Amino acid sequence: MRGERFFTGFIRDLAERRAQEWRLQELQSELVHVSRLTAMGEMASSIAHEINQPLSAITNYMRGAKTLLASDKPDTNRIADAIENATQ
């Protein structure tokens, strides 16, 4: 037996491992996509809030001016103030 070489080989099916790696890559890609969508949703919500705040204030000032105009003796100074605040 001296001088003879022996070879031992192992055969392993890597198909399942490769499928798992592929699925992991798919899930990671999907996670990145969902994260981006979440960030975009948060940004859109923030922008909507920033736009709605001043629009609500303008609406309130204009409604106040309209109410003042509807009175028997409109206070032109208060109406002018309400309109000035709305324009600012």
| Domain boundaries defined on the chain | 50-88
* Position 47 confidence tier, pLDDT thresholds 50, 70, 90: very high
Q: Which two tokens stand for residue 5?
A: 């070489």
* Position 45 confidence tier, pLDDT thresholds 50, 70, 90: very high
Q: What is the pLDDT of residue 2?
A: 72
Q: Are 64 and 81 in contact (CB under 8 A)?
A: no
Question: Could you give the CA distance from residue 49 to residue 74 in angstroms, rounded to a whole number?
Answer: 34
* Position 31 confidence tier, pLDDT thresholds 50, 70, 90: very high
Q: What is the pLDDT of residue 22?
A: 97
pLDDT for residue 68 is more than 80: yes
Question: Could you give the CA distance from residue 70 to residue 36 in angstroms, rounded to a whole number?
Answer: 50
Average pLDDT, the chain: 92
